[in-house]
Amino acid sequence: MPLPRQVFIAVIGAGGVGKAFLHQLSKLASNLSCSPSAPTYLSLILLSTSKKSVHHADYKSLSNWETELANSTTPPLPLPRLAEYLVKAPGKVVLVDNTSNQDVADAYPMFLKHGVSIVTPNKKAFSGSYQLWTDIFAAASNGQGSGGCIFHESSVGAGLPVISTLKELVETGDEVRRIEGVFSGTMSFLFNSFMPVGGGGGRFSDEVKTAKDKGFTEPDPRDDLNGLDVARKLTILARLAGLKVESPTSFPVQSLIPKELESCASGDEFMQKLPEFDGKMDDLKKEADKEGKVVRFVGSVDVAKGEVKVGLEKFDTSHPIAALKGSDNIIAFYTKRYGDNPLIIQGAGAGGEVTAMGVTGDLIKALRLLQ
């Protein structure tokens, strides 16, 4: 029987997803049988937020991260120093980036080249410039490189098996023709409430307010309504399907922010003025209703045509996208093998627990490779 092996875990970000991940990490069997060679012991050696950080120079495990972090007065390590600390660790290291920080994302190629593996829900690493995308996979050992490995299931659809399924379709030689779906929990909730199948629903601005009050939107709802979050997810899927998408702003993205409100100084001012624009959304609703359809905010990739787009579309009430409930996501893969009836994945695509689950699942996959 081979000796047990230790893998060092460093976590950046301790917000909703970060906390849920740390909780899941603490429950992962200390004796993971995920490797053919030996049991694995996980040591949390660094935890960092945007404000402060805790780690020990001798790589001792953080025995009680909540207390240690609360008591810490150390500011977060600058990225080059963080890299230095991780690279010198006496064993394999997995960096868990639970932030949505662009600077951290930009440093992935450097971490990977130095043998540090990465698991993350951070969309910015995979939906920013195409150069960053190629740099990351040129360095990663599960790309073309020989460095650490990288997994990012939760960058689309949280813990739903979206990225892994698309990768498997591609790797096993299927021809992915079209990807279509509802990729935002906020947009899902908004339109399932605004125009439910069977009629009803309030004014659009009221539904935005309800979503905001329930915590389903970003603090400033414009950060959801501008469509950029969905555009980032579509960028990732399109790239995995083989399209060279330059950036999330290089294809048509419909913003639901009225032009006149783009310059509002605050989210509050925006919310105050939004009702003035309900007429346009009402017209759209009536128009769809006349055709026996409903309106949904969707994204799609047409691989053959090389087209990616994000915005409002009308769907028959019997369409799976129309029947979505709550804040669920739905993703349909149309491929050569699956023919007219797509492979569909559906469920909660946002929330700390399910997002962290995708990260924890990725960590297990990374550990299996780190033998």
Q: Return the active site residues.
A: 233
Whole-number CA gyration radius for the chain: 22
How far is 329 from 127, CA to CA, in rounded Å? 19
User: Does residue 175 touch a second copy according to CB under 8 A?
Assistant: no
**Window 273 to 292, contacts with a second copy (CB under 8 A):** none
Q: Which of 106, 174, 220, 302 contacts a second copy by CB under 8 A?
A: 174
Tell me: is residue 15 an annotated ligand-binding position: yes
User: Does residue 28 touch a second copy according to CB under 8 A?
Assistant: yes
Decide if 19 contacts 351 (C-beta within 8 A).
no
**All residues at 6 or more sequence positions from 61 whose CB lies less than 8 Å from its CB, including other chains:** 43, 44, 45
How far is 63 from 340, CA to CA, in rounded Å? 53
Q: Which is nearer to a second copy, 29 or 70 (CB)?
A: 29
Name the token pair of 298. Answer: 């969707």
Q: Which is nearer to a second copy, 97 or 231 (CB)?
A: 97
Taking alpha carbons only, the member of 363, 371, 273 closest to residue 26 is 363
User: Does residue 214 touch a second copy according to CB under 8 A?
Assistant: no
**Window 34 to 63, contacts with a second copy (CB under 8 A):** 34-36
Decide if 330 contacts 345 (C-beta within 8 A).
yes
Q: Which is nearer to a second copy, 119 or 245 (CB)?
A: 119
How far is 65 from 290, CA to CA, in rounded Å? 57
How far is 193 from 217, CA to CA, in rounded Å? 14
User: Does residue 16 touch a second copy according to CB under 8 A?
Assistant: no
How far is 244 from 238, CA to CA, in rounded Å? 8
User: Does residue 350 touch a second copy according to CB under 8 A?
Assistant: no
SS3 state at 109: helix
How far is 51 from 74, CA to CA, in rounded Å? 9
The letter for the amino acid at 6 is: Q
User: Does residue 354 touch a second copy according to CB under 8 A?
Assistant: yes
Q: Which is nearer to a second copy, 136 or 345 (CB)?
A: 345
Closest contact distance (angstroms) between CB of 34 and a second copy is: 7
The letter for the amino acid at 34 is: C
Q: Which of 43, 142, 247, 254 contacts a second copy by CB under 8 A?
A: 142
User: Does residue 138 touch a second copy according to CB under 8 A?
Assistant: no
Tell me: is residue 16 an annotated ligand-binding position: yes
User: Does residue 1 touch a second copy according to CB under 8 A?
Assistant: yes
**Window 147 to 166, contacts with a second copy (CB under 8 A):** 149, 159-161, 164-165
Tell me: is residue 201 an annotated ligand-binding position: no
Tell me: is residue 14 an annotated ligand-binding position: yes
How far is 228 from 247, CA to CA, in rounded Å? 11
Annotated binding-site ranges: 13-18, 99, 123, 218
Binding residues for a second copy (CB under 8 A): 1, 24, 27-28, 33-36, 141-144, 146, 149, 159-161, 164-165, 168-169, 171-174, 318, 320, 323, 325-326, 328, 337-348, 353-354, 357, 360-361, 364, 368-369, 371
Annotated binding-site ranges for NADPH: 99, 123
